[in-house]
Amino acid sequence: MSARSKARKRALDILFQADVRGEDLPAVLAAEAKRAASEPARVGSWLYARDIVDGVIDNADQIDELIITHARDWKLDRMPAVDRALLRIATWEIVFNSEVPSAVAIDEAVELAKEYSTDGSGSFVHGVLARISRAV
């Protein structure tokens, strides 16, 4: 698994934890940063995970608006928490990170959805992200 794939999984863990536990995302990120400092072997994945989570924090309103607009009759609070987190990660990559091709961001999110979410999540995540990618 590439460092960026590991970073996406790590970002997923952070976003999911904050969402499900109702914790402040910057506080969860700070706690993870403290833990990451004691794990130098994982520094490669940590740096990009932090970029992702910081990007989601900084652009939360725009990211969520894109997801809501392109989710077609799905409200954010009705989506599985894993799907919400993955959509936020990939939307940030598609819109705000020109180093990652949209197809890669979509594929990575779909694979994580298939592994960690519901049976229909892979196709749902793919559909929403494809619409976002075409729109931006």
Per CATH, domain 3-135 is 1.10.940.10? yes
Indicate the pLDDT class of residue 24, thresholds 50, 70 and 90. Answer: very high
Domain segments of the chain: what residues? Answer: 3-135
Q: How far is residue 111's CA from residue 35's CA, in Å, rounded to a whole number?
A: 26
Q: In the 8-state DSSP scheme, what is residue 87?
A: H
pLDDT at 36: 84
Nearest Cα residue to 89 out of 119, 47, 57: 57
Tokens of 80: 């599985």
Residue 120 pLDDT exceeds 90:
yes
Non-local (6+) Cβ contacts of 72 within 8 A are: 127, 128, 131
Indicate the pLDDT class of residue 100, thresholds 50, 70 and 90. Answer: very high
Neighbours of 34 (CB within 10 A): 9
pLDDT, tens only, 46-55? 999 999 999 9
Identity of the residue numbered 45 = S
Mean residue pLDDT across the chain:
95
Q: Which residue has the tokens 């970029």?
A: 51
Tokens of 10: 């790590």
DSSP letters for 51-84: HHHHHHHHTHHHHHHHHHHHSSS--GGGS-HHHH
pLDDT at 106: 98
pLDDT, tens only, 102-119? 999 999 999 999 999 999
Tokens of 82: 């894993």
Q: How far is residue 90's CA from residue 74's CA, in Å, rounded to a whole number?
A: 17
